[in-house]
Amino acid sequence: MNHGTAGSLRAVTLDDVRGAQKMLSGVSRTTALESSRYLSRAVGAPVHLKCENLQRTGSFKLRGAYVRIAGLLPEERAAGVVAASAGNHAQGVALASSLLGVRSTVFMPKGAPLPKVSATRDYGAEVRLHGQVVDETLDAAVEYAQRTGAVFIHPFDHPDIIAGQGTVGLEILEQCPEVRTVVVGVGGGGLIAGIAVAVKAYRPDVRIVGVQAEGSASYPPSLAAGHPVAVRAPATMADGIKVGRPGEVPFGIVAELVDEVRTVTEDELSAGLLLCLERAKLVVEPAGASPVAALLSRPGAFEGPVVAVLSGGNVDPVLMERVLRHGMAAQGRYLAVRLRLPDRPGALAALLRALSVVDANVLDVSHVRTDPRLGLTEVEVELHLETKGPEHCAEVGRALREAGYTIIG
């Protein structure tokens, strides 16, 4: 890309990442690198999954948080630390602080998922719920730091954070020395910046590809402009990469070392998460599934061997249910149909018999009798069906039409 300034690499060096790796010995896990037969067939080359979803606290965030807090001066540690996060960074800061004997306060949005709030408390932080969105929560944390003297621990915009995240890159080189492409989900840029510093120092030929959610993609316009640009009202279910503006420190590194930043849709994120669960048996949050989504959307665009970094697995069960349904619908494995029936006994039973012939599993049935568009003796029925893919969906539609039903939606 080469959009960066000459000094952009001075913020974090390979020595910094090596030092962080020593600091994290016995603290963070060397997470597994699992091969994916399905993705390897799709890409036409070996694909491996770097399982940071199995890291302590469920994401890579512990690495950077621990390095940052461990590097504080004694008087800074005595003042405590404060952070703002909807989930992964909160848990990383909470555990790192507990391990280092530092008091931590974490501000989280009022709507943060209860499992993430509980986990952050369990790791030892004092949790304060403030604001409806992360920006409001961030402002509250910064104000707290100014008022109390606590050290604010930024989730991505600090050299120590980036050095800690870069240890993922060192592990990738150790576990897959023949790697040709590394694919990483991108929010503020701390993880991909650290990985790029580590990997490019040893293997400048390795291609580093970032992935952002289409509705929250701040890096493509920022790289085009040559400086961080904010995206208004970022929107994506992948809250782990839902960041409206790149960090100043990671931006310089990304601009210099990262080869490409591409985007994926919400449907593609859902499909990636579903594949991780079904094929790899790995629970991954939408942000963590973004590299897999990119591989699925354009498998021919990646030279192998490929390492896709599954950055986290802290997904709220309610969101997981919604995302799985969304992913299955995107793959043609859910079908919703509306049709009209005569409002008489046995009409619904006949419809269900027609569906049973083509092996469509009925998940839900709803009736509408009060719509003014309906005739006096008509009822509208909406069916939600579990199907086996696009071809089965087409077969269900044909069977209904051949049985004399008119599908209206």
State how far the Cα of 266 lies from the Cα of 260, in Å rounded to an integer: 20
State how far the Cα of 222 lies from the Cα of 126, in Å rounded to an integer: 35
Those residues whose C-beta lies under 8 Å from the C-beta of residue 277, and which sit 6 or more positions away, are 283, 284, 324
50 is catalytic: no
Q: Is 42 exposed, middle or buried (0-12, 13-18, 19+ CB in 10 A)?
A: middle
Catalytic residue among 8, 104, 297, 311: 311
199 close to 167: Cβ distance less than 8 angstroms? no
Catalytic residue among 61, 116, 200, 242: 61
- Tell me the pairing of strands 33-35 and 47-51: antiparallel
61 is catalytic: yes
State how far the Cα of 63 lies from the Cα of 59, in Å rounded to an integer: 9
Over its C-alpha atoms, the chain yields an Rg (Å, rounded) of: 24
Which residues are catalytically annotated? Answer: 61, 311
